[in-house]
């Protein structure tokens, strides 16, 4: 955790007037938001620039509709309106208790519980209206083929194409709710191992639930293998093999690739480390 800046505290005070911020801390840096944590009370999410500012109302509406979907776990619920501060937007959301498991910890039953809870959420028209941006831009495979593969170092271009072809050869499956970042600090458990909540739905989308299964490799691939069917496991490994599923989901939301060179800088080390 990091000491919060004065401007972050000022934003929090505006959104949650009268709330004491003595023990507020800034969460580890994220790509989309700065997050101020007020333990036991709220989290304040502040966008980093115009693109995320424009999309924040939709992201917050996703939380609102998920919160009314009868989920077997908590999601952060909006406590304030989305409010703009210059080019940035901010919202306060409810606190979700518990803590995440360390990397490599957990067991197959916990992995299976999270995956089943998320993929069982009905993709109602109300949820799809705020969730599905895929028709707004090029498909993930077009982005990879046209913007990513040509920028890869020469030694990875042929292999990248082979892995893309393998992903495209997967048999279609019915869409389910995909969280898109279902690992690490985004899944909270009680001390006795009960699933309490799932945070950070910014990448949520309809899609192949094996994408979330690949994300759960945070707990170890062997735990994933024992938690899902052989077919789901095969699909999860295929999705992950492309560039690492954590990178891949950034191409799947129907939005333009704003920084393909930055994407390359992120995925090449992953390719080299997993060669």
Task: List pLDDT tens digits, range 143-179.
Answer: 999 999 999 999 999 999 999 999 999 999 999 999 9
User: Cα separation of 94 and 44, whole Å?
Assistant: 9
pLDDT of residue 29: 61
**65 phi and psi, to 5 degrees?**
-75, -35
Cβ–Cβ contacts within 10 Å for residue 95, how many?
17
Tally helices (H) and strands (E) across the chain: 11, 9
User: Cα separation of 83 and 57, whole Å?
Assistant: 9
Q: Measured between alpha carbons, how far is residue 113 from residues 120, 213, 235 in Å?
A: 11, 11, 19
Q: What's the mean pLDDT when you consider all of the chain?
A: 92
Helical spans, DSSP H, in the chain: 6-15, 50-67, 108-119, 125-131, 140-143, 154-168, 210-215, 221-227, 230-243, 245-248, 260-273
Instruction: Specify the domain boundaries for CATH 3.90.1200.10 within the chain.
Output: 108-273
CATH architecture for segment(s) 6-94: 2-Layer Sandwich (3.30)
pLDDT of residue 1: 60
CATH topology assigned to domain 108-273 = Aminoglycoside 3'-phosphotransferase; Chain: A, domain 2 (3.90.1200)
Give Rg (Cα) of the chain.
19
Instruction: Specify the domain boundaries for CATH 3.30.200.20 within the chain.
Output: 6-94
Q: Are 63 and 76 in contact (CB under 8 A)?
A: yes
Give the chain's residues under pLDDT 50: none
pTM of the model: 0.92
pLDDT of residue 143: 92
Collapsing DSSP states into helix, strand and coil, what is residue 11?
helix
């Amino acid at each position: 955790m990091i000491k919060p800046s004065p401007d972050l505290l000022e934003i929090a005070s505006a959104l949650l007037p009268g709330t004491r911020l003595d023990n507020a801390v800034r969460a580890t840096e994220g790509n989309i938001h700065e997050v101020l944590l007020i333990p036991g009370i709220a989290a304040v999410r502040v966008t980093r620039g115009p693109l995320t500012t424009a999309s924040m109302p939709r992201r917050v509406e996703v939380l609102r509709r998920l919160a009314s979907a009868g989920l077997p776990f908590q999601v952060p619920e909006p406590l304030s309106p989305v409010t703009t501060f210059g080019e940035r937007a901010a919202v306060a959301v409810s606190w979700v208790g518990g803590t995440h498991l360390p990397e490599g910890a957990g067991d197959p039953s916990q992995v299976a519980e999270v995956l089943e809870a998320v993929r069982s959420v009905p993709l109602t028209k109300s949820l799809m209206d705020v969730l599905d941006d895929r028709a707004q831009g090029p498909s993930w495979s077009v982005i990879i083929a046209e913007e990513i593969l040509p920028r890869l170092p020469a030694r990875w271009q042929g292999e990248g194409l082979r892995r893309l072809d393998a992903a495209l050869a997967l048999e279609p499956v019915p869409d389910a709710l995909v969280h898109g970042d279902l690992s690490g600090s985004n899944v909270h458990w009680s001390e006795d191992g009960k699933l309490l909540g799932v945070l950070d739905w910014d990448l949520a989308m309809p899609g192949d639930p094996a994408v979330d299964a690949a994300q759960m490799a945070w707990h170890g691939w062997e735990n994933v293998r024992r938690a899902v069917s052989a077919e789901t496991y095969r699909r999860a490994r295929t999705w992950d093999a492309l560039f690492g599923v954590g990178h891949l989901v950034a191409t799947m939301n129907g939005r333009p690739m704003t920084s393909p060179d930055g994407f390359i800088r992120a995925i090449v080390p992953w390719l080299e480390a997993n060669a």
